[in-house]
Amino acid sequence: MATKSKNKPIGNPTAFTQAAECLRTLAHPVRLRMVQLLLHGRYTVGELAEDCEVPDNVASEHLRLMQRCGFFTSEREGRRVYYKVAEPHLENIMNCIESRFLQSPE
Amino acid sequence: MATKSKNKPIGNPTAFTQAAECLRTLAHPVRLRMVQLLLHGRYTVGELAEDCEVPDNVASEHLRLMQRCGFFTSEREGRRVYYKVAEPHLENIMNCIESRFLQSPE
DNA sequence: TTGACATGTCGCTATGTTACGATATAACAG
DNA sequence: CTGTTATATCGTAACATAGCGACATGTCAA
C-alpha cells in the first residue's frame, strides 16, 4: 500500500506556508493592478491611488503590505515616494496570471 | 500631465477581481499542496487528507472551494471520490510558485 | 514661522475565512 | 435490515482582513 509508487512531489511544509502568505498578499484586485503597473515603471503613491481609484491612505496600506513581502522597495523624492518592483519572480507570476485572466480585452 | 506617455498596461477591473478570487483560493498551504499533488496524478479525499495531515472533512472543504473555482473535477468510484486537475493554467502558475518557493530541498 | 501637499499610521467596524464537532449522505458487506 | 467506511455539509467560534476617518509625519514654498 505504501508501495503504490505514485512518486509524489516532495513538499516542505514551511515553504508552502511562505508561498501561501505571499499569494494572499497578491490576491487582491487593487494590489494585482499595482503589481502590473509597477512591472512597467515606477509610480508614486498618488499615481497608483488614482489609477486604482482608492484613497491615498488605502493605497499606502496596500503598498506597505507588499513591501513587507519583499515585492517592492520605495524611495522618497521630495514629497513624493516612488515604488518599484524588488522581487524578480513577480514578473513570471504576473505573466501566468495575465495569460489566464487578462487575455482578451473583450 | 495626461501626456506623460507612461503607456500603462490596460486593466479590466472585472478581470482583476476574478484573478484575485482565484488567487485567494490558491493562497493556503494545504490547498497549494493539494494542487501540487493533483498535478502529478489523481487522489481520493482520504489520500489528500492524510498527506496534508488534516481531517477528512477539512480536506473535503478545501477541495470543494477549489472545485468552485474550476480548479478540479471529481468522480466517484465506489465509496471513494477521486479528484483531478481541470484548469490547465494551474500547472504554469504552480511552476512559477515552485520556482520561487520550493526550489532548494534544504 | 505658517500653510499646503504627499504619504504614513492608528483605531475601529464590518466582513470574510478557517477549523472544528456534529450530523448527513452514499456505497457496500453481511 | 444493520453496521462500517468514505465523503459531504452545517453551525459556530476564533481569527484575519479591508476600508474608513482622524491624525501624524515629512517636505517644501513663501
A41-53 residue pLDDT tens: 999 999 999 999 9
pLDDT for the residue B6: 61
**Is residue B30 scored above 50 in pLDDT?**
yes
pLDDT for the residue A6: 61
Whether A75 CB is under 7 Å from strand C: no
- The dihedral formed by the CA atoms of A49, A33, A40 and A48, expressed in degrees to the nearest 10: 0
Strands laid side by side in the A72-77 sheet = A43-44, A80-85, A72-77
How do residues B36-82 score in pLDDT, each as one tens digit?
Answer: 999 999 999 999 999 999 999 999 999 999 999 999 999 999 999 99
Protein contacts on strand C: list nucleotides below 7 Å from a Cβ. 5-10, 17-23, 26-28
Q: pLDDT band at residue B23, thresholds of 50, 70 and 90?
A: very high
What's the grid cell of residue B16? Answer: 482583476
Nucleotide showing the shortest C1' distance to residue A21 CA = D16
Q: pLDDT band at residue A103, thresholds of 50, 70 and 90?
A: confident
Q: pLDDT band at residue A83, thresholds of 50, 70 and 90?
A: very high
**CA separation, residue B62 to residues A26, A75, B45 (Å):** 20, 41, 10
Nucleotide showing the shortest C1' distance to residue A78 CA = D27
